[in-house]
């Protein structure tokens, strides 16, 4: 299994929350790589708050580093059943 998502540094955009054409609150996550800057937008749920929207965007931006950390933990601590089991479960969820 291999990560097939966009590689690069992800961060929540400094532009903050804005409303899209459907009047839904939106926040942008930028990623930066050798090809420049690109972005994805995260929209609030039907009953979501701005606080929840920002928290979701931050979690999405941190996901590549969290995946890398999980992979490294499984490699470094193969004798720990809990780390191996939970790490592999998270890695599989991220990659399949």
Whether 1 contacts 89, CB under 8 Å: no
Identify the pLDDT of residue 93.
92
% of the chain at pLDDT higher than 70: 89
Taking 70 as the threshold, does the pLDDT of residue 34 lie above it? no
């Amino acid at each position: 299994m291999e990560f097939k998502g966009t590689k690069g540094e992800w961060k929540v955009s400094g532009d903050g929350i804005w409303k899209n054409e459907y009047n839904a609150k939106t926040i942008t996550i930028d990623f930066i790589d050798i090809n420049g800057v690109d972005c994805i937008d995260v929209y609030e749920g039907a009953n979501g708050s701005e606080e929840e929207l920002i928290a979701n965007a931050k979690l999405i931006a941190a996901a590549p580093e969290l995946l890398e950390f999980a992979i490294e933990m499984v490699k470094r601590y193969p004798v720990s059943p809990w780390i191996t089991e939970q790490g592999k479960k998270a890695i599989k969820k991220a990659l399949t």
